[in-house]
Amino acid sequence: MPTLTEQKPMVRATYDEMEAYILLPEPMLGESYDVAQLKDALAENGVSEGIFEEKLAELVRNGIYNSEVLIAQGVSPVDGVDGYYEYNFNSSLDHKPKLLPNGTADYWSVHLIEEVTKGQVIATYHPAVEGRDGATVTGRIISARRGREQMPLKGKGFERTPDNRVYTAALDGKIERQNDRIVILPVHEVTGNAELAEGNIDFHGDIVIHGNVENGVVIRATGSITVDGIVEACTLEAGKDIVLRSGMLGGNKASVHSKGSITAKFFEFTKIKCAGDLHADVLMDCDVECQGQVILDGSRGSIIGGRVHAIRGVIVSTLGNEVEKRTAVYVGAGIEIYSRLHVLEKKIEVCREELVKIEEGLKRFEVLQKERGVDYTNDPRRTVLLREKIKNTAILAGDSAEEKKLRALAEGARGACVSVIGKVYPGVEINIDELKYTLKNIGKHIEFFKMPDKIATRKCYADVE
């Protein structure tokens, strides 16, 4: 039986303690190592986990000397996976028409509404996956990140299973995500035409009309309005966006008012009021008030005749026409907004001063009550002051909200300009705030912008195929 060597195995652990190596110095002739001797060396160096037992036996059996061999390996932690929701509906709707390769706009690509049917699975919850801790070769535990569960979905119009994993629509309607909420609301859908004989439509929610809208019909929605067919001389009012896929023939009797954006193939002889952006191919003899941008950047995009005011600017392919039809374009906040802001500033200042005086008057009653020991709670003079305080507080709140809105419009108007991608014709009048510029010659690829004392022009680099 060979004599055990007095040589000491050399053990080395890596800096992160995830691997350990052993090296056996070559013993004297007739001497050898045994497995127990190697295990003792590992233990002396703190290596206790992930040891390759078969490798130890192999080193002894085959006499592998003077070569460092991996002998132990730690276990890496496996992080947990957070729970997540898989949504079975499109929550990123495109409110702008896509430009086709020929430069025209595809108004059928605009979608304001994602519809679901009762019983349809709208979301599935995938629970969190627990992590698995790791360990080094020295036995030190490496904690894994724990998977976190998500809160059950909030909102209305849907049902869920007792385990909060499967969510289904409780009614037919429009579905949308509102921050961390899912909301399903009813949709008023007209499969054919909206006719005067059927009456006007006034709906708390969204309206979808798959046919035409006849003359004289009034359509009001607190949500959006979508019309697939032609819209004639009627009234449209929406609390959100409006999409007219086939355009509107206003006949100087039509009115369109949206608190969101408006997208339409064309408008003719229509009065338009829009709180967001206005996208179209053609505006002909229209009266437009837009708090966002007016964008007609398709190859056929044109403004011909009428008056168009866009606070944030206008982008158009063709402005005016060959017969020099008078066309007025206004951009910027305009004198009216700045004048109203000035009035509101003065009014708010006076109202605040009045409230300070009222507060001082009320405090005097408190002082008198302490000094004289008399209850002034129902004193007519104090009652008058309280009424004035309530009235002035309400006025101040309303004026402050209006001032904030107007300031936002004024800020958005900074740098507003008129960009003409193609041609602009004589007969066109450009207005930026208080300044005016009248075209006398045909121009191409021009951008009109404001300088301190005049409207200047520069090259418009945008192009349409």
Within 10 angstroms of residue 91's Cβ, the number of other Cβ atoms is 10
Q: State the average pLDDT for the chain.
A: 88
Predicted confidence at residue 407, as pLDDT, reads 82
CB neighbours of residue 446 within 10 Å: 19
Distance CA 51, CA 74 (A): 9
115: pLDDT strictly greater than 90: no
Give the model's confidence band at 18: pLDDT under 50 very low, under 70 low, under 90 confident, else very high. Answer: very high
Is the pLDDT at 70 greater than 80? The verdict is yes
Q: Is the pLDDT of residue 463 over 60?
A: no
Q: Closest Cα to residue 419, out of 282, 312, 310, 313?
A: 313
Give the pTM: 0.64
Q: Please write down the HEC assignment for all residues of the chain.
A: CCEECCCCCEEEECCCCCEEEEECCCCCCCEECCHHHHHHHHHHCCCCCCECHHHHHHHHHHCCCCCCEEEEECECCECCECCEEEECCCCCCCCCCEECCCCCEEHHHCCCCEEECCCCEEEEEECCECCECEECCCCCEECCCCCCCCCCCEEECEEECCCCCEEEECCCEEEEEECCEEEEECEEEECCCECHHHCCEEECCEEEECCCECCCCEEEECCCEEECCCECCCEEEECCCEEECCCEEEEEEEEEEECCCEEEEEEEEEEEEECCCEEEEEEEEEEEEECCCEEECCCCCEEEEEEEEECCCEEECEECCCCCCCEEEEECCHHHHHHHHHHHHHHHHHHHHHHHHHHHHHHHHHHHHHHHCCCCCCCHHHHHHHHHHHHHHHHHHHHHHHHHHHHHHHHHCCCCCEEEEEEECCCEEEEECCEEEECCCCEEEEEEEECCCCEEEEECCCCCC
Give me the pLDDT at residue 2, please.
65
Q: Tell me which of 214-223, 432-441, 456-465 is least confident.
A: 456-465
Candidates 7, 8, 9; CA nearest to 20 is: 9
- Kindly report, residue by residue over 251-284, the tens digit of the pLDDT: 999 999 999 999 999 999 999 999 999 999 999 9
Q: Please check the confidence at residue 88 and state whether its pLDDT lies above 50.
A: yes
- Cα four-point dihedral sign 219, 223, 228, 231: positive
Answer yes or no: is pLDDT of 180 > 70: yes
- Using pLDDT thresholds of 50, 70 and 90, give the confidence band for residue 464: very low
Q: What is the pLDDT of residue 465?
A: 37
- Looking at the chain, the whole-number percentage of residues with pLDDT higher than 90 is 55
C-alpha 139: how far from its chain's center? 49
pLDDT score recorded for residue 73: 95
Distance CA(324)–CA(307), nearest Å, equals 14
d(CA 122, CA 102): 37
Please indicate whether residue 411 or residue 297 has the higher confidence score (pLDDT): 297
Q: What is the pLDDT of residue 24?
A: 92
- pLDDT tier, 374 (very low <50, low <70, confident <90, very high otherwise): confident
What pLDDT is recorded for position 107? 59
Model pLDDT, residue 315 = 95
Cβ atoms of residues 341 and 321 within 8 Å: no
Model confidence over 330-349: pLDDT tens digits?
Answer: 998 877 777 888 888 888 98
Tell me the two tokens of residue 431: 């207005």
Label residue 445 by pLDDT band (50, 70, 90): very high
pLDDT greater at residue 257 or residue 298: 257
Of 90-94, 218-222, 424-428, least confident by mean pLDDT is 90-94
Domain boundaries, the chain: 3-73, 84-132+146-185, 335-412
Window from 95-109, 241-255, 355-369, 431-445 with minimum mean pLDDT: 95-109
- Strands 19-23 and 3-4, sheet pairing: unpaired
- pLDDT range class, residue 96, cuts 50, 70, 90: low
Q: Six-digit token pair at 277?
A: 């952006």
Taking a C-beta distance cutoff of 8 angstroms, is the pair 97, 54 a contact? Answer: no
Q: Decide if pLDDT at 106 tops 80.
A: no
Tokens of 138: 């020295």
Between 461 and 25, residue with greater pLDDT: 25
In this model, does residue 163 exceed pLDDT 80? yes
